[in-house]
Amino acid sequence: MRLKNTIIDKTLTYASITWTLTKRVRKQLNVFKRRVYRRILGPVYDNEKENWRILSNKEIYARVKKTYYNRDNKVK
């Protein structure tokens, strides 16, 4: 997590002050961040189904202590 916070975030948002942050760009940034978190956190073993699975968006945000927004921009 430290690596993501120190290197990836800084590189990704370099000169972001000059960007026009549209809905599409914001969505792409969020998708990228979740992809990085999934890679860092790895798959989890589901005891009920007895198989490995990837984390849902809600589970990712719970593990990294971020606020989760659904499609209607309501905090959950």
pLDDT digits (tens, 9 = 90+) for 8-28: 777 777 777 777 878 888 888
pLDDT digits (tens, 9 = 90+) for 57-66: 889 888 887 6
| Section 38-58 average pLDDT | 90
For the whole prediction, is pTM greater than 0.85?
no
Of the pLDDT bands very low, low, confident and very high (cuts 50, 70, 90), residue 53 is very high
Q: According to the model, what pLDDT value does residue 20 have?
A: 80
Q: How far apart are CA 54 and CA 42, in angstroms?
A: 7
CA distance 43 to 59: 11
Q: What share of residues in the chain are helix, strand, coil (percent, to 5)?
A: 55, 10, 35
